[in-house]
Amino acid sequence: MADAVVRQPGVARPASARKRASLHNILRRKSTAAFLMTLPLILLITLLVVYPAFYSLHLATLNKSMQRFVGFGNFEFLFRRDTFWLVVKQSCIFAITAVVFKALIGFIVAHFVHNIPAKGQRKWRGMLLVPWVIPPAMSTLAWLWLFDPSYSAFNYTLAFFGIGPIPWTGDAAWARFAVILVNVWYGAPFFMIMYLAALKSVPDQLYEAAAIDGANWWQRIWYVTLPMMRNIIAITTLFSLIVTFANFDIVRILTAGGPLDHTHIFATWAFRVGIEGSDIPLGASVSLFMVPILAVAAIFILRDVNKRGNEA
């Protein structure tokens, strides 16, 4: 276009002026068309996401029969209950431990997959991603059966090594370990795939340059791989933090919060209180406690995603 303008200024100018007038016309029609195309999306988000979110705030201020406004009564009630603080503690332990192990295992496995010849990578990647593909409710049933106290396959195997039966879901500490283990099993493949994609995008020249400078494998990871992958690591970890923090399926099926509420996290406790205990306002207040941490993670993700957009 610039070429044309330089070569034939006389011809190009009137053409572009005419174009601008019709462009203005198109723009006017364009915005209505665009609005109509996004209307279903806007309606869906407003009616079924934004409205319930605010409705939840309203619900949290009502009493159990939802007749009377109690202000912060539900929150005061929660703060006085030991179970609530137990749930807060467990949610944090659960989310942080699970995310850290998922990220570490994902990082390590991604390196191993990246190491082997490209021809075989597809096959391995395919096998290692299976936990992420199976619906978590279904795979957690398999874990529940593996953990079964009397016919447990794990305890049968451990008995060979002379290790006594372990109460996988019966003892508080073991039950916490079990839910975290299942969560790590389910979530690590996601990290593996994300990191593998990031590893592939690091240019080989950087490693060659590092090798010429005499860097050992640790220095290559620390000074080349990690800085190049920083953005992906941040986004994946924050995203996983949200999903793990809000997890429901695994804890619900594996322990249902037991023994003695020692594995309840926000989602499962909100379900127990709000739906099973039919105290909807209290349940709504419990799940609202997830909002601050989710909001913080979401803000950081958004910042990183926008940064990526600007770089590209």
Q: Label each residue of the chain as H, E or C.
A: CHHHHHHCHHHHHHHHHHHHHHHHHHHHHHHHHHHHHHHHHHHHHHHHHHHHHHHHHHHCCECCCCCCECCCHHHHHHHCCHHHHHHHHHHHHHHHHHHHHHHHHHHHHHHHHHHCCHHHHHHHHHHHCHHHHCCHHHHHHHHHHHCCCCCCHHHHHHHHCCCCCCCCCCCHHHHHHHHHHHHHHHHHHHHHHHHHHHHHCCCHHHHHHHHHCCCCHHHHHHHHHHHHHHHHHHHHHHHHHHHHHCCCHHHHHHCCCCCCCCCCCHHHHHHHHHHHCCCHHHHHHHHHCCHHHHHHHHHHHHHHHHHHHHHC
Q: For other proteins, which stretch binds (CB under 8 A), given 8-16, 80-88, 165-173, 245-253? A: 245-253
Q: For other proteins, which stretch binds (CB under 8 A), given 2-10, 80-88, 172-180, 284-292? A: 284-292
Site for other proteins in 47-76 (CB under 8 A): 48-49, 51-53, 55-56, 59
Residue 93 near other proteins by CB under 8 A: no
Residue 239 near other proteins by CB under 8 A: yes
Residue number, 175 or 181, with CB nearest to other proteins: 181
Residue 128 near other proteins by CB under 8 A: yes
Given candidates 13, 20, 89, 308, which one binds other proteins under the rule CB under 8 A?
308
Q: For other proteins, which stretch binds (CB under 8 A), given 67-75, 79-87, 161-169, 237-245? A: 237-245
Given candidates 8, 35, 77, 81, which one binds other proteins under the rule CB under 8 A?
35
Given candidates 18, 157, 222, 303, which one binds other proteins under the rule CB under 8 A?
157
Residue number, 37 or 173, with CB nearest to other proteins: 37
Residue 270 near other proteins by CB under 8 A: yes
Please state, in angstroms and rounded to a whole number, the distance separating the CA atoms of residues 175 and 204.
Answer: 44
Residue 100 near other proteins by CB under 8 A: no
Site map (CB under 8 A) of other proteins, residues 172-201, x = contact:
-------------x---xx--xx--x----
| Least distance (Å) between residue 258 CB and other proteins | 14
| Least distance (Å) between residue 252 CB and other proteins | 8
| Least distance (Å) between residue 196 CB and other proteins | 9
Given candidates 168, 249, 257, 264, which one binds other proteins under the rule CB under 8 A?
249
What is the length of the chain?
Answer: 312
Residue 237 near other proteins by CB under 8 A: no
The residues, any chain, with a CB within 8 Å of residue 259's CB and separated by 6 or more, are 169, 170, 171, 172, 175
Cα–Cα distances (Å) from 102 to 5, 99, 226, in that order, read 57, 5, 17
Residue 141 near other proteins by CB under 8 A: yes
Tokens at 3, concatenated: 């070429």
Residue 277 near other proteins by CB under 8 A: no
Residue 222 near other proteins by CB under 8 A: no
Q: For other proteins, which stretch binds (CB under 8 A), given 1-9, 71-79, 161-169, 262-270? A: 262-270
